[in-house]
Amino acid sequence: MRLLLLTSVRTGELRGSTWKEIDLESAIWAIPGERMKMGHPHVVPLSTQAIEILKEVREITRANSVDDYLFPNVRDRSRPMAATTINAVLIRAGFNHERLFRAHGARGTFSTWAYEQGFTPLAVERQLAHVEKNRVSRAYNKAEFLPERQRMMQDWGDYLQNIGS
**Catalytic annotation, residues:** 10, 37, 104, 107, 130, 140
- Listed in sequence order, the residues at least 6 apart from 39 whose beta carbon sits closer than 8 Å to its beta carbon are 33
Alpha helices by DSSP H, the chain: 2-7, 11-15, 48-61, 85-92, 105-116, 121-127, 135-140, 146-164
CA pair distance 49, 47, nearest whole angstrom: 5
SS3 of residue 20 by DSSP: helix
- Using DSSP's 3-state secondary structure scheme, residue 120 falls into coil
Longest Cα–Cα distance of the chain, Å, equals 47
Query: What radius of gyration do the chain's Cα atoms show?
Result: 16
Cα–Cα distance measured from residue 102 to residue 93, given in angstroms and rounded to the nearest whole number:
11
Residue 133, φ and ψ in degrees, nearest 5: -75, -30
